[in-house]
Amino acid sequence: MAERSFKAEVEHLRKGEGETFTGEGILAITKALLENGVGYVGGYQGAPISHLMDVLADAEELLSELGIRFEANANEAAAAAMLAASVHYPIRGAVTFKGSVGVNVASDALANLASSGVNGGALIIVGEDYGEGSSIMQERSHAFAMKSQFWLLDPRPNLPCITKAVKDGFELSEASNTPVMLMVRIRSCHVTGSFQTRDNQRPKLSVREALSNPQSDFARVVLPPMSFAHEQDKIKNRWPNAEKFIRERGLNEVFGPKVAPVGLVLQGGMYNGVIRALQRLGLADIWGNTQVPLYVLNVTYPLLAGEFLEFCEGKDQVLVIEEGQPEFIEQQLSTFLYRAGSGVKLRGKGILPMAGEYTGQVMLDGITAFLKEAAPQMLPAMVRAPNEDRPQIPDLTKTVPIRPPGFCTGCPERPIFAAMKLVQKETGKLQISADIGCHLFASLPPFEIGGATMGYGLGPAANAAFDGGGERRPVAIIGDGGFWHNGLSSSFTNMAFNKSDGVAVIVDNYYSAATGGQDIMSSRADNPTKATKHPITKALKGIGIDWVRQVDRTYDVGRMRDVLREALTTDAPGPKVIVASSECMLNRQRREKPLTAKAIKEGRRVEAPRFGVDEDVCTGDHACIRLSGCPSLSLKKLDDPLRDDPVASIDQSCVGCGNCGEVADAAVLCPSFYRADVVHNPSKWEARMAALRSRIIGWLQARRAARWLDFGGAA
């Protein structure tokens, strides 16, 4: 189950001509695809647009009604390859995945697609997140658009502009026979707003109809000599056609006065931040009317020299607002000015930061600095931006610790690494490679297990250099999502083929959990539209890996420790693979909490396990915390003057997984952990017994208290 359902929202996708649609950016994109006659759509889930795939999955019934093929692709490469349908057929297709990392995975298919060109509109919707909040390496999709020469849209982040960009993207693709990338930042994905809808359109040619009349053209195959012809076609035909379309359709926008000493050139996605900064400076109003000329690049590749030079006419200086690095746009615009012999001074990364997200404050500081230097007369006298007389905010980085990501409370992956830490006490430190996914949090304290990660599904492959018969076997960690995404072919086939002697642990939490809890091949749930319940162990044995161990309850730390020890010491030849399975606690809680709450409300008896620490037994050495790291496990200061050290304590966020007690038992720590079952709506007999126990315990407590020595009257 995905972390969020859009079943209710997708009904709004049926709205027709003249109605008003209100919702998030990802829903608006889906509606725009339907309105523009898309024939097939697919993709791979991943932040910051994982919910777009969830929307499409929930809208599958509507897609089927319109004759649209939907595919939840195994990875981004499979999604990009799907766009091959638009090469020979005039069918509009769209796929979606995360920006830089998704483009990297899909690069081979995308490069071939850009070379051969398309007949039908081909749209790649990528979610880009940049800066401190990004969940992946700091790269830009812009570079790939330049390398392979497909066009890149970056619309202003409001729903009318986003939906228009989908329409423009398809038409630009068809006008230039080139795939188009539509970039939406995380702000665009989840911005809310409204727009006027149009009727949904069935594709002019469906994939089902295309099968009845198959097409082929050797000129589209990327092989010599056609690949050279493709390169010539890009430069002589596709690029000029794209520039003509962009200019004639006015895809880029100009706002503000025609005559001014300065101007701002910005990516479309930066528009809201720029306008907000100008508002704070008193140079724009809430409707976006600006006193500073703006050249908004809703198309950031290709750039139009003529259009840009026209904007620069009469200006002394122009500031380029380009998020991310390298500064591809600034470099290209500098070339335009140089070739034209223009005296306009181009500013950019010298004033604005080279790297990092362009937040509201960054934008305000940069634009203010530019205007103070280039056109101080434009700054209103009453404005002392950026709030120069405000109190200085102290640097808290030296006193407030960083807050790194970590496992959720009750996560079934935590006990795996507790067991691994126990094994390393016996064997010494192991060479451990990691992978993309929640299990990568184990590289942080308290586990400090694994470090390097080379890509989704490449954990075991990253250890290949160490698999040479050393003193200790290398260990690789990979998730079930990574296994099906790329790991089976790139990592485990590699291990089997090379007769690896290494160990791989597949962390199976039943879902592609890190991207939102979507089902995968090995999910245990029933899925009406997808094939689930395919065991990972069968896939491993199918490629010739014989030493496979299945652990169906990762919370059994002792069992996990023993299996890991066996894998590291066995004399069996070939790869050793452990499939450690337990359901993602977040997904489990999403499913069970509503059912439990309903049962309690209806008066049915419900037992809820809770764990605690006996303060009288706890010794205060905190080894349990060092081997668990659960967020619900913390420290508590006692009132007892004879015990200065705090003891372990379990707070109310505990979900009753039992990992803390299991770790304490496996590590032979202490018996201070206990389990108590909280009974909701108990029977009359249980209520009477609870009252009796309470009275007996109260009597015993009073009896013991009466024997305590009282030093209250001592001098």
Q: Report pLDDT digits (tens) over 612-634.
A: 888 888 877 777 777 777 888 88
Strand partners, 476: 433, 504
How much is the average pLDDT of 323-339? Answer: 95
Please state whether beta strands 518-519 and 511-512 pair in parallel, antiparallel, or not at all (unpaired): antiparallel
Report yes or no: 502 and 476 within 8 Å, Cβ to Cβ.
Answer: yes
| Cα distances (Å, whole numbers) of residue 692 to 609, 678, 687, 689 | 21, 17, 9, 5
User: In angstroms, rounded to a whole number, what is the distance separating the alpha carbons of residues 225 and 223?
Assistant: 6
How much is the average pLDDT of 705-711? Answer: 70
Residue 464 is encoded by which pair of tokens?
Answer: 């290949």
Least confident of 326-335, 406-415, 451-460: 451-460
How much is the average pLDDT of 328-341? Answer: 97
How much is the average pLDDT of 260-278? Answer: 96
Band (pLDDT 50/70/90 cuts) for residue 512 is confident
pLDDT at 54: 84
pLDDT at 385: 46
Q: What is the 3-state secondary structure (H, E, C) of 601-622?
A: HCCCCEEEEEEEECCCCCCCCC
* DSSP of 497-522: HTT---EEEEEE-SEEGGGT-EE-TT
Question: What's the whole-model pTM score?
Answer: 0.85
Inter-residue long-range contacts of 636-643, CB under 8 Å, 24+ positions, other chains counted: none
Select the more confidently predicted residue: 509 or 631. 509
**Domain architecture of the chain: domains with CATH:** 15-248 (3.40.50.970), 252-378 (3.40.50.920), 414-587 (3.40.50.970), 605-706 (3.30.70.20)
Report yes or no: 92 and 31 within 8 Å, Cβ to Cβ.
Answer: no
User: In angstroms, rounded to a whole number, what is the distance separating the alpha carbons of residues 678 and 698?
Assistant: 19
Summarised one tens digit per residue, pLDDT across range 274-306 is 999 999 999 999 899 999 999 999 999 999 999
Q: Averaging pLDDT over each range in 1-15, 174-188, 377-391, which range is the top one?
A: 174-188
pLDDT of 195 > 90? The answer is yes
Select the more confidently predicted residue: 564 or 711. 564
Least confident of 446-455, 467-476, 581-590, 667-676: 667-676
Burial (CB < 10 A; 0-12, 13-18, 19+), residue 306, is: exposed
Torsion of CA 703, 707, 711, 713, to 10 degrees: 70
